[in-house]
Amino acid sequence: MIIAEGKPIKEILAMIDAYDKIIVAGCKGCVTVCSAGGEKEVGILSSALRLARQTQGRSLEIKEVTLERQCDTEYLEPMREYADQYQAILSLACGAGIQFVAEKFRKHPVLPGVNTQFIGVTEEQGVWTERCQSCGNCVLDRTGGICPVARCSKSLFNGPCGGSKGGKCEIDPQVDCGWQLIYERLQELGQLEKLEIVLPVKDWSTSRDGGPRKRIREDLKI
């Protein structure tokens, strides 16, 4: 899923400073699962914003809403019923959701309530870690199911580099060396010989380097 974290309240207060009637819009997708922008976070953030405004001696009217998803048109439509009564929309969805709201609600400034961070997993309760950089050209079959693009700090294809020590990356003793993980996994699988092959120069055109990406399934189009 896409992992995000709430922006600091000070930053949000500065963003909404010019408004006294806003919508705080959560999303029931990824940001709910990673506790960054679901119904609960909409409630907590709205209370905090009201309180902060009260201490400034200013009022703030908030419409709290949590949409099924913000990355699909149909789930955005219900907001039209009340959107005109508010000056701005603070979205707690991922960057894709925030932008889609901005595209569909053209009269409203749409503001980000979260920082979208990465595609990752719930490693344990309250801990999310990155797994995929969506490069568009998966090599996991060659690297024991562990991604060198996302897990190696230098995205090396023929690691580990000289900075791998005790299973950790040179950038931080808390960060696992992605290539040590690949090595151990291939060892477990009895496939260490895979590491003898030089992985070739990567085609990054399928990644963001090829420009904004688009996927079309003609058979599904209406």
Partner 1 sequence: MKAGSNLEKILSSGGFAVTGELGPPKGADVSVIERKASLLKGNVDAINVTDNQTAIVRMSSIAVGAILQRMGLEATMQMVCRDRNRIAIQSDIFGAYGLGIRNILCLSGDHQKFGNHPTAKNVFDLDSIQLIQTVKLMRDEHKVLGGDEIEGVPAMFIGAAANPFADPFEFRVIRLAKKVAAGVDFIQTQCIYDMDKFERFMQMVRDRGLHEKVHILAGVTPLKSVGMARYMKEKVAGMEVPDEIIARMKGAGKEKSREEGLNICVEQIQRLHKIEGVHGIHLMAIEWEDAVHSIVERAGLLPRPQV
Which one of 63-71, 82-90, 131-139, 153-161 is the stretch in contact with partner 1 (CB under 8 A)? Answer: 153-161
- Is position 132 an interface residue for partner 1 (rule: CB under 8 A)? no
Alpha helix (H) ranges present in 22-144?
A: 30-33, 39-55, 73-76, 80-83, 95-104
- Of 94, 92, 90, 96, which Cα lies nearest the Cα of 108? 90
* Smaller CB separation from partner 1, 104 or 142: 142
Q: For residue 1, how many other CB atoms are within 10 A of its CB? A: 17
Give the shortest CB-175-to-partner 1 separation in angstroms: 10
- Is position 158 an interface residue for partner 1 (rule: CB under 8 A)? yes
H/E stretch holding 63: strand 61-67
Among the listed residues 57, 126, 200, 211, the single contact to partner 1 using CB under 8 A: 200
Query: What x-and-dash track marks residues 162-181 binding partner 1 by CB under 8 A?
Result: xxxxxx--xxx----x--x-
Side-chain-side CA neighbours of 119 within 13 Å: the count stands at 10
Q: How far from each other are the two terminal CA atoms of the chain, in whole angstroms?
A: 27
- Is position 138 an interface residue for partner 1 (rule: CB under 8 A)? no
Note the residues at the interface with partner 1 (CB under 8 A).
Answer: 153-167, 170-172, 177, 180, 183, 195-196, 198, 200-202, 204
